[in-house]
């Protein structure tokens, strides 16, 4: 299976939603991956993804994220980036991030990635915009 960006973002979002289940130890991680794969396939039957593929992809994403963080810590290195770096940063930190902090602290490229992330969530139906009443 070749992972399109939309599928990767969906996987990251579903993983993030189940992070507590993974870390609690009450449920076998294999069962959680089966649930994630089923939800992804329900969202888009074209994917036909297995639990093993989801688990392997997430391991690779985490590994890439960690490698980039480690490379960026070394002095003399140019800052490395990656299409999913900011999304994985949000997942990796396990914290609530507020937009004003994000815009104060991040470079323009990270802001673009954040906007892309939100737009993708909106397209996937994973983000609901508040209803605005016009008087």
Number of domains in the chain: 1
Tens of pLDDT, residues 43-70: 998 999 999 999 999 888 888 877 777 7
Residues near 133 by beta carbon (within 8 Å), at least 6 away in sequence: none
Q: Is 74 inside any structural domain?
A: yes
Rounded-to-integer distance, Cα 71 and Cα 45, Å: 37
Q: Is 15 inside any structural domain?
A: yes
Tens of pLDDT, residues 75-109: 666 666 655 655 555 554 443 333 434 444 445 55
Domain interval for residue 42:
5-124
Q: Is 131 inside any structural domain?
A: no
Which residue, 20, 13, 2, 3, is CA-closest to 124? 13
Rounded-to-integer distance, Cα 41 and Cα 76, Å: 44
Output the 3-class SS for 59-90: HHHHHHHHHHHHHHHCCCCCCCCCCCHHHHHH
């Amino acid at each position: 299976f070749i992972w399109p960006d939309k599928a990767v973002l969906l996987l990251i979002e579903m993983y993030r939603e189940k992070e507590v289940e993974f870390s609690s130890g009450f449920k076998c991680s294999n069962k959680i991956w089966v649930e994630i794969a089923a939800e992804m396939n329900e969202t888009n039957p074209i994917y036909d993804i297995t639990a093993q593929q989801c688990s392997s992809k997430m391991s690779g994403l985490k590994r890439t994220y960690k490698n980039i963080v480690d490379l960026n810590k070394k002095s003399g290195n140019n800052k490395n980036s990656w299409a999913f770096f900011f999304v994985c940063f949000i997942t990796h930190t396990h914290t609530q991030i507020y937009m004003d902090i994000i815009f104060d602290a991040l470079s323009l490229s990270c802001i673009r990635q954040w906007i892309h992330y939100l737009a993708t969530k909106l397209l996937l139906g994973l983000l609901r915009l508040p209803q605005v009443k016009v008087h």
